[in-house]
Structures are given as C-alpha cells and as structure tokens.
Chain A
Amino acid sequence: MSTQSTSQSASLVSGRHRVLKRLLRDKVFVMAASFIAVLFLVAIFAPLLIELIGHGPNEPFRETGLTAGGVPLPPNGEFLLGTDVIGRDLLSRLIVGARVTVFVSMTCAILSVTIGVIIGLIAGYRGGIVDLLLAGFIDMVLGLPLLVTAIALVSVYGASFTVMIGTIVFFTWGPIGRIVRNLVVAAKSAEYVQAARVLGASDTRIMLREILPNIAGQVLIYASLLIPQVIVMEASLSFLGLGVPPPTATWGGIISENQLNYAVAWWSILFPSFALLAATLAFNLLGDSLRDALDPSAANKGRVK
C-alpha cells in the first residue's frame, strides 16, 4: 500500500513538473498569467496606489477635473486617464474596479467550485436520490434566465455584494457539479478505485484521496474558464445597476455612468471597456493553455493527418 502510494505520488510530481514546463514554454500562457498577476497586484495594493495618485476614487474634482463648461478632461499630467462625468479620476476608479472584479470573481469561483465539487462527488459516487436532485436542480437553473432572475432578486432584496455573489454562484455551481459528477461516474469503475476499495478504503477516503486528485486537473480547467464568465456577469449586472451599488466603482458601472457622455469623453468608456476585455481575454487564454497543457490528447486531436 505505502509503496504504491509513494510511486503514485512520485509520478504525480513528475507529471506536475512536465505540465509546468509545458506551460512555461507556452508564450500565450506566460503573457496571460503575467497580466493576471499584475491585475491581482493592483487589486491587492489598490489603497496604496490610490494614495500615490492622490485622487480618491469617489472624490469629484469640480474645479480641476472639469473644464469651465463642466466637460470631463481628457488624459493629462494630473489625471493620467482623464476624468469622468462629474470630475472623478478615472484611473483611481479603474483601480477600485480591478479590486471589485478580482474580489467578486475569485469569491464566486471558489464558492461555485467548492459547492460543485462536493455535490458532484456525492452525486457521482453515491448516485441515487442526490444524483436525481442534482440533475433536476441543474435543469431548473438552466431554465432560469440569469439577468431576469437577477432583476427579480434585486427587486426584492435590493442591490448589494451579497445578492450579486449569491446570484452568480447560484447560476454557476450547477454546471461544475454536473461536470464533476460525470468525471466521478467515469472514474468509479477505474482500476485504481477498485483497488482502493478492495484494500478496504472508506468511501470518503476514495472520494477525497483517490478520485479527487485524479479529476483535479479537469476541475482546474473548468474553474479557470468559469472566471471570465463570472467577470462578465458581474460587469453586466453592475452595468444594469443591479450589481455593486454606487458610488463604489466597478468597470461595468463606470461604463454605464459615462455612457451618455460618449460624444465628449470617449476615454471614460474606452478605458474601462479595455480593462474588462483584457481581463476576460487573459483568463480565457489562461484556461485554454491550461487545457492544452493538462490534456495534451485534446490538443493532438486537433491535428488531423
């Protein structure tokens, strides 16, 4: 038993090593990962950065940030990315927006993946009533339109971080649960699981120590592809005024606040759009690279002839 598990973990380590090497050779992955690292640093050190800039994100600079006629200023020495419709520093607001984006997307991703993995493991391993309930629940969730439901929830509970995160998690854990469930069903009949069962391992042990490490790679791929979806959901809800309540800056909210100002202040729409696009693209590329590195057979399938 012990020799088996050491040799298994040794091959796991060398496997991880190979995956890491493959990833570091992938230029797209390195670029996407670097961008995401910068995004995280900005999110973490947001208060510090804003201190450095010297313009609070919710502070309207009516004297210095707007022209005499009340028009927002384009990017300049004092306001590096220009000002918004009421003279607030766009850069400061984008930095706060980065913090919100990172916080919401990570919270939602961690919650959905945790719930999805737990329920998926049980549903796949035990089958029976849990499996049926999961299938039914996921069909119900897929039958509900996200934005309309979010509207309904916000109309009852008001807009807040909690309502938004709850709504997003409600809509995203189901598909992960279904994926995990299918992976577990496939893994259940695998030899290593049968071997563990013969050796007298408990169900919990088999689920957590045998099956979970083996499907972790797949789960990681779906989790990384879930993050850009969550970012878009958060931004869309904030754009509609159903997400984070103002004056807290969010990328979707900034676009919505300045939308009618397109004729005089293109920067107030373009920069948040660009930030949003870069973040979702980076996570999508990261997920794609991860899939290629963790599942080389999928990449090779692409090469016909």
Chain B
Amino acid sequence: MIGYVLRRLAFGLMTLWFISLAVFILFYVATPGDPALMFAGEYATYEQIDLIRTRLGLDQPLHVQYFTYIGNLLRFDFGTSFVNQEDVLATILRRLPVTASLAFGTVAIWVAIAIPTGVFSARRAGRLPDRLVTATALAGMSFPTFVVGTLLFYVLFFVLTNAGFPVFPSGGYVAFTRDPLEWLRHMLLPWMTLAVVGAGTYTRIARGSLLETLNQDYVRTARAKGLRENKVIYHHALPPSMTPVITMMGLDLGGLLGGTIITERIWGLNGVGSLAVQAVETGDLPTIMGTVIFAAFFVVAANLIVDVIQVLRNPQITL
C-alpha cells in the first residue's frame, strides 16, 4: 500500500519534471528568433532588450539557464512579472479563490445532477425515460462551453434584465468572505455554463457504470435474497459503481483548478485562466510559464489523489 503510494508519487513527480522540461524547451530552445526580442515587444530599446536578456539569463550557456530555471522551480520561485514586477506565484495564488469557487461549485453541480439522473436512467434502461435522458445528456455534451456561456449570457442576463428581472449580474466576482449571497449570485451563471457540458458526460458515466454493476452476480444474489429494490440499488450496487465517477471528478477538478479560461473570460472573472490569457496578450513570459506549470501541477496532483483514493476504496487495484 505505502509502496504503491510512493511509486505513484515518484511517477507524478516525473510527469511534472517532463512537463517543466517541455516548457523550458518551448520557451528557451524552440523559440523562433530571440526570446528577449520577442518578449521586449516592438518598441523596446536596446537597453531594455539587454536587460531582459540578463534578467532571463539568456546570455548564459543553455545548461546554466536550465539549472537556474529548474532550481527556481524547486524553490517555488516562478519569477516576477514583466508587466507589473509582481511575484508570479503570489499573483496566481491571489487569483486562485476565483477559479477554485468556480471549479468546486461546478463539480458539485455535476455530481448532484448526474448521480440521481444516472440512477433514474439505469433503473429504466432501454425504456423511453432512459432514452430521453441519454439523448438530453448527449445534447448537453455537444455544447461547447463558450456557446453555452454566450447563450446563457444572452437569455438569463440580457433578456431577463430587459424584461425587468435583474436576477443575474453580467459578470464579475464578489469574494465569499465579503458577501456570501452576492458571491452565490455572481457564481450561478458561470457554474451553469460549465454544468451543462459536464452534467451530460457524468450522467452517462454514472448510468453505464451502474448498469454494469447491476448485471453482476452479487447483485443478482441480493435480489434473490428478496431485498427491496431500493436497498439493492443504494446499498449494494451504487457505492461500488461510483468508481469511474470519482476518477473523472478528481481529474476534472484538477483540470478546472488550473484555469477555466473560457468561462472566466465570458463572465469577467479574474481567475487563473484569465491571467494566462492576459499574460499572452501582454507577452508576460514568466506569468505564461508560471500558469502552465501551475495548471499541470493541479492535474498531476489530482491524478495522484484519485489513484490513492481508488486503492483505499478497493485494495485489489495495483499498478
């Protein structure tokens, strides 16, 4: 058990190292032309370009650059922004609550919709209600996030507000610690934006997995014992069939925490995702690199945590 966790941890760290190497190669080695020139912008003076070159260590040999880079990463030093001279990690962490509100709320809504609907659908497998659910889920999955966001913005903000019901704001973020109700009001539409797409996926996973479990021998035995159907489903079949849902949930949470770029942009939320977009628009190299590595960190951590939880739930799984 402990051996497995240590192996997974080593594997996760290696994945992170690979990703950091890929980022280094992309920005320091494979860049067409001089990175310093590129990030200085069109109107930079020679002194500014030289300054950037020294600051990035671009005048050093490549292996020295690499060791500086990896050494800084290991000390959680992502450098300072070219634009406002602020510490990159501090900026990311300051914006994290926005993205975290979005991510955790979204995943909660996915699961809250998907598990009851999946159970409902699986119990009526092959019949009309099940087909309707499956078709609706597929339609939901087919919506790109930005289309959902744009349409929600139009209907629930613009049309509703024009009709005299200003229920939802057009965007922006209010900290939970400042005003929990306003926080909720501002988060509802962004949550719905992400919920439409994911709820369909999760419903299909929950339905499929539950159906598979219901066909297992032990469920047949439970039924043969004369247990009530509700008890068979909720006590015997549902808990073990949630494994793929938990896996997906963990992975998606990791992905969302790394930045929900489109949703943040549509709803004017200043989270980690919009930081990445802004950094590209301003050519802020340390911030771009910081957000990529930060996002990768969450995905790798989520992978690790999911695997460990699965082993705790079912010790038969081994690497």
Contacts and interface: CB of A to CB of B under 8 A. Distances in A.
B143 A154 contact: no
Interface residues of A, number: 43
A277 B27 CA distance: 36
A228 B200 CA distance: 15
Contacts of B146: 235-236, 239, 252, 255-256
Nearest to A266: B154
Contacts of A142: 251, 299, 303
B296 A144 contact: yes
A64 to B, nearest CB: 27
A67 interface: no
B277 A304 contact: no
B22 interface: yes
Contact of B144 (A157, A232, A284, A304): A232
B91 to A, nearest CB: 15
B150 A280 contact: no
Contacts of B11: 139
B291 A148 contact: yes
B interface: dominant SS: helix
Nearest to B35: A156
Given A139-B11, A144-B19, A277 B143 contact: yes
Contacts of B215: 301, 304
B254 to A, nearest CB: 9
Interface-central residue, A140, A262, A301, by most chain B CB under 10 Å: A140
Interface in B206-259: 211-212, 214-215, 251, 255, 258-259
B30 interface: yes
A152 B261 CA distance: 13
A136 B276 CA distance: 26
B32 interface: yes
A136 B296 CA distance: 15
A interface: dominant SS: helix
A239 B277 CA distance: 12
A152 B273 CA distance: 12
A204 interface: no
Nearest to A232: B144
B299 A301 contact: no
Contact of A228 (B32, B142, B154, B212): B142
Contact of B262 (A139, A144, A239, A301): A239
Contacts of A256: 146
19 contacts: A136-B18, A140-B18, A142-B251, A144-B292, A144-B295, A144-B299, A151-B261, A152-B280, A157-B32, A235-B144, A235-B147, A239-B144, A240-B262, A255-B146, A281-B138, A284-B142, A301-B211, A301-B215, A303-B125
B19 A143 contact: yes
Interface in B3-43: 11, 14-16, 18-19, 22-23, 26-27, 30-32, 38
Contacts of A153: 26
Given A148-B292, A152-B26, A269-B150, 7 more contacts: A140-B15, A143-B303, A145-B296, A148-B276, A152-B27, A239-B146, A302-B130
B23 to A, nearest CB: 7
Contacts of B19: 140, 143-144
A256 B23 CA distance: 29
Interface in B101-132: 122, 125-126, 130
B141 A304 contact: no
A148 B138 contact: no
B300 interface: yes
Contacts of B143: 277, 280
Interface of B: 11, 14-16, 18-19, 22-23, 26-27, 30-32, 38, 122, 125-126, 130, 138-139, 141-147, 150-151, 153-154, 158, 211-212, 214-215, 251, 255, 258-259, 261-262, 265, 273, 276-277, 280, 283, 288-289, 291-292, 295-296, 299-300, 303
Interface-central residue, A148, A155, A280, A281, by most chain B CB under 10 Å: A148
B151 A273 contact: yes
A302 B126 contact: yes
A147 B15 contact: no
A165 interface: no
A259 interface: yes
B259 A147 contact: yes
B138 A240 contact: no
Nearest to B214: A304
A157 B30 CA distance: 10
A151 B147 contact: no
Given A235-B146, A240-B277, A273-B150, A263 B299 contact: no
Contact of A277 (B15, B32, B147, B158): B147
Contact of A236 (B15, B144, B212, B300): B144
A143 B292 CA distance: 10
Nearest to B31: A156
A156 B125 contact: no
B22 to A, nearest CB: 7
A276 B273 CA distance: 24
B273 to A, nearest CB: 8
Given A145-B259, A236-B145, A263-B158, A285 B211 contact: no
A242 to B, nearest CB: 8
Given A139-B15, A145-B296, A273-B151, A154 B280 contact: yes
A269 B144 contact: no
A288 interface: yes
A149 interface: yes
A156 B28 CA distance: 10
A128 B300 CA distance: 24
Contacts of A140: 15, 18-19, 22
